[in-house]
Chains A and B, each alone.
Chain A
């Protein structure tokens, strides 16, 4: 049975609006409908100018991260029924500049992500096989990095991190979890290249273990725990390097 629900949505177009404002829309939603379904109905039936990102509608692409009733969530994984009986309040992700309505500028996020060199650094000393090169990973080694591999770049951890809000130079939880994903990979030999990025005041050491990232991650990645592992690794590489001198 369809139920009438009101959505209070943050609106702002920096090009033409002098200040942000709220728009109220009332639409009928079915039991089990997601917030994203409600947003699509609003755009199709009430206001075609409403801007938001969405793609797969199944919690895989990570496009539709937004603040729903005060917390950053994926709109496609959040059911309207779970948002209580009042208005569904929707705002853009925090800690990123506004582009329009619920769309934020992702540039700072992607720049930081790229800075940790999130790819597998191959060993150059190993002989290259003549036929096929297969960089297989042992099953138990995969256990350590499997959750970190689940990241869908939704930017929710970045938006929920209070340190990112205070210090825009902080590299942020997502870049760190991606660095961890490759640092935990026994096939990777890129530690020396990543240490100058991670071992900085605005690198791993700025994390204050508030656990906001871990709590809000829609994929259940233990982000804070893995950042702590990175910190311990930084200490380990420091003393290891001193021993070699």
Chain B
């Protein structure tokens, strides 16, 4: 049995993504709420901030990590139902598709600020 199917990687990456999540959430909250404390939040101010790759990168990172962590956790809950190997593969594949589609939509929402237009979906 490969170590991927053994459960080692989902377990390990859940912990790694939890640490990354902590970093990204703190960074996101700090940037959004404390860096310009008192200044009104406008569409323009958000657009200006997201033009900067560092800030945009934190939001892209948060998007990817939160989707992975959430769906990997959901997978481990579903797997408690003692599924057959085929059902496990179906659940894993389905959640991967859901995750990738969610991230693509998320990037599409953020991308106009960087490129001036949506990236994948017009």
Contacts and interface: CB of A to CB of B under 8 A. Distances in A.
B35 interface: no
B11 A201 contact: no
A96 B6 CA distance: 26
Contact of B6 (A169, A205, A208): A205
A167 B77 CA distance: 12
Interface-central residue, B1, B6, B79, by most chain A CB under 10 Å: B6
B1 A200 contact: yes
Given A166-B82, A201-B79, A205-B7, 17 more contacts: A166-B81, A167-B80, A169-B82, A196-B1, A199-B1, A199-B3, A199-B7, A199-B8, A200-B6, A205-B11, A208-B76, A231-B11, A234-B8, A235-B8, A235-B11, A235-B12, A238-B3
A206 B3 contact: no
Nearest to A241: B3
Interface in B55-101: 76, 79-82, 88
Contacts of B3: 199, 238
A168 B1 CA distance: 20
Nearest to B5: A201
A169 B82 CA distance: 8
A165 B80 CA distance: 10
A234 B15 CA distance: 15
Interface string B3-34: 10111101110000000000000000000000
A235 B6 CA distance: 11
Interface string A170-192: 00000000000000000000000
Contacts of B82: 166-169
Nearest to B88: A201
A163 interface: yes
Contacts of A196: 1
Nearest to A242: B3
Nearest to B11: A205
Given A231-B11, A235-B12, A201 B6 contact: yes
Nearest to B83: A167
Nearest to A162: B80
Contacts of A166: 80-82
A134 to B, nearest CB: 37
B80 A163 contact: yes
A168 B6 CA distance: 17
A167 B10 CA distance: 19
29 contacts: A163-B80, A166-B81, A166-B82, A167-B81, A168-B82, A169-B82, A199-B1, A199-B3, A199-B6, A199-B7, A200-B1, A200-B6, A200-B7, A201-B7, A201-B79, A201-B88, A203-B6, A203-B7, A204-B7, A205-B8, A205-B10, A205-B11, A206-B7, A208-B76, A208-B80, A231-B11, A234-B8, A235-B8, A238-B3
Interface string A207-245: 010000000000000000000000100110010000000
A70 B18 CA distance: 35
A238 B6 CA distance: 11
Contacts of A169: 82
Leading 4 A-B pairs by shortest Cβ distance: A205-B7, A167-B82, A199-B6, A201-B7
A21 to B, nearest CB: 29
Contacts of A200: 1, 6-7
